[in-house]
Amino acid sequence: MMRGLASRNLDSLMRYYDPDVVSMTQGTKPVKGMGSVRSSYAEVLTANPSDLSFESGGLSFSNDGSLAWHYGTFEATANDPKGKPVKAAGNFLQIWKRTGQRWVIVAEINNSSSQPRQ
């Protein structure tokens, strides 16, 4: 996913999502479905994200191996509406589901923390 964001390749990002995904980002209303998530990411990419970094806090699996959850922190720089670069940092949680031989995200949430990591 990080490569998709860094390369600004929207199609490569969408292959990780379930058609009925629910995505919740701080400061926005929850969005549901591939089309809405695609539009949301397209908007993120217009802010020209750079200096992306993710740090995993862990990955766990359900007992039957059909679900997984991954959480961690992120940092990025993106342009504000006036084009000024702004640093951001926060937390994320993703819920993944096994569909055949693939894993897809069925739910995700992220929020901002007060400061980027030092």
Convert the pLDDT of each residue in 86-104 to its tens digit. 898 999 999 999 999 999 9
pLDDT at 57 over 90: yes
DSSP SS3 for 115: coil
Rounded CA-CA distance 106/33 in Å is 9
Cβ–Cβ under 8 Å, residues 32 and 118 = no
Q: What percentage of the chain carries pLDDT values higher than 70?
A: 89
CB atoms within 10 A of CB 30: 11
What pLDDT does residue 106 have? Answer: 97
**Domain ranges for the chain:** 2-111
- Write the CA distances from 25 to 43, 67, 90, 92, integer angstroms: 12, 21, 11, 9
CB atoms within 10 A of CB 77: 15
The hierarchical CATH code for the domain 2-111 is 3.10.450.50
